[in-house]
Amino acid sequence: MATELFSTYSYLLDRTARKVKQYAQRRFNAENYDITVDQWIIIKRLNQNNDLNQTQLAEITGKDTPTLTRIIDILCKKGLTERRIHATDRRCFTVHLTELGTQTVAEWTPKMAEIRMKAWENLTEEDYINLKRILDTIYNNLDD
């Protein structure tokens, strides 16, 4: 396969990932909702798994632990999450949604689903399956 034919995939990946994030961010901003997309990803995940420590939460959301520490700091300041001391391991915190955090996830989940649907216009389920397969393959090719 010719090198130049696919020499641009990394550019396409990068700009598309940024566009998706940017679009969702603008929806948040448009409703004066003071949260970032990456913060959203965390609270959305906490709504499903409300008893993870920071390392687990970082792993499952694809963040590294310093990044997660800072996002959790911000979310706690905003009153959306809280750190709780782990029962048996004093190194850990488990992270939990507050009442406000739970409300926020409930309010924004349908809006985010709508945003995702918009991105997917003119594409099929087969496209999704192919996209997932291709991206997973690239990821695994480069994984240590």
Q: At its nearest, how many Å lie between DNA and the CB of residue 45?
A: 13
Quick note: the x/- pattern for its own copies over 84-123, rule CB under 8 A, is -----------------------------x--xxxxxxxx
Kindly report the backbone phi and psi dihedral angles of residue 143, in degrees, each rounded to the nearest multiple of 5, phi listed first: -75, 145
* Spatial separation of the C-alpha atoms in residues 116 and 69, rounded to whole Å: 27
Quick note: the x/- pattern for DNA over 28-67, rule CB under 7 A, is -x------x-xx-------------xxxx------xxxxx
* Spatial separation of the C-alpha atoms in residues 15 and 21, rounded to whole Å: 10
Task: Tell me whether residue 104 is exposed, middle or buried, using C-beta atoms within 10 angstroms of its C-beta: 0 to 12, 13 to 18, 19 or more.
Answer: buried
Q: At its nearest, how many Å lie between its own copies and the CB of residue 105?
A: 14
In this structure, are residues 48 and 96 in contact, taking their beta carbons and an 8 Å threshold?
Answer: no
Q: Could you say which residues in the range 45-64 bind its own copies, by CB under 8 A?
A: 62
Q: Where along the sequence are the contacts to DNA (CB under 7 A)?
A: 14, 18-19, 21-22, 25-26, 29, 36, 38-39, 53-56, 63-67, 69-74, 83, 86, 88-93
